[in-house]
Amino acid sequence: MIRPRFVIIIWFVFLLIGCSSFTPENTSAENSCLRTEPMWLKPPEDAAVPHPPTYGYYFVNEDQSIWASAWQAKDEENPFRAGEEGNKVGWFRPAGAELEITGRRLDAEAPPLEAEAGCCYPTRFQASGVYFPTEGCWEVNAQANDRKLSFVIWVEP
């Protein structure tokens, strides 16, 4: 005959084993991506921008020589997206400097991002299109002359 105390102990052991394999839903890849927090700043004035500058979200390097628009990092309805349509990103960099934009996915294998940044902008402002081939956690790097900016974002499908 099985004793009730033994049944309770066996049931408790199985309960503990079941609980130890439980993982909460918030341990997803998105939550493990250590994103760069954009800053709320007023960008520099620039002759290429027709209106006076207003505050917004930007990724900015330490000496404020390179800025990248970051409103998508704060907009849940219009985040950075993967795919052929790409993402419009405005930049401020040293006036007239060629801007090189590169990036890699941090949480899985993927081709590098692609970027289109036209040449010959004579002022600090530079427009670009940034294309992520997959969703996930991405490091974006920009360089103009000897200045650099790096930031990490989550890209939606």
Measured distance CA(11)–CA(96) in Å, rounded: 72
Measured distance CA(29)–CA(132) in Å, rounded: 17
Predicted local confidence at residue 9, as pLDDT: 46
Predicted local confidence at residue 6, as pLDDT: 46
The pLDDT of residue 19 is above 90: no
Measured distance CA(115)–CA(106) in Å, rounded: 18
Dihedrals phi, psi of 156, to nearest 5 degrees = -80, 160
**Per-residue tokens: 152:** 């990490």
Tell me which of 16 and 133 has the higher pLDDT: 133
Tens-place pLDDT, residues 78-126: 999 999 999 999 999 999 999 999 999 999 999 999 999 988 899 999 9
pTM: 0.81
**Confidence class for position 3, pLDDT limits 50, 70, 90:** low
Most confident range (mean pLDDT) of 15-24, 116-125, 137-146 is 137-146
Predicted local confidence at residue 8, as pLDDT: 45
Q: Give the mean pLDDT of 15-31.
A: 51
Residue spans of alpha helices (H) in 21-123:
29-32, 71-74
Q: Which 3 state secondary structure label does DSSP give 128?
A: strand
Tell me which of 140 and 29 has the higher pLDDT: 140
> What is the pLDDT of the chain when averaged over all its residues?
87
The pLDDT of residue 1 is above 70: no
Q: Closest Cα to residue 35, out of 135, 131, 140, 151?
A: 151
Q: Closest Cα to residue 111, out of 80, 91, 89, 132?
A: 132
Predicted local confidence at residue 28, as pLDDT: 80
Measured distance CA(106)–CA(33) in Å, rounded: 8
Measured distance CA(109)–CA(136) in Å, rounded: 10
**Confidence class for position 53, pLDDT limits 50, 70, 90:** very high
Q: Listing from the earlier edge strand, what are the strands of the sheet with 147-155?
A: 99-105, 136-144, 147-155
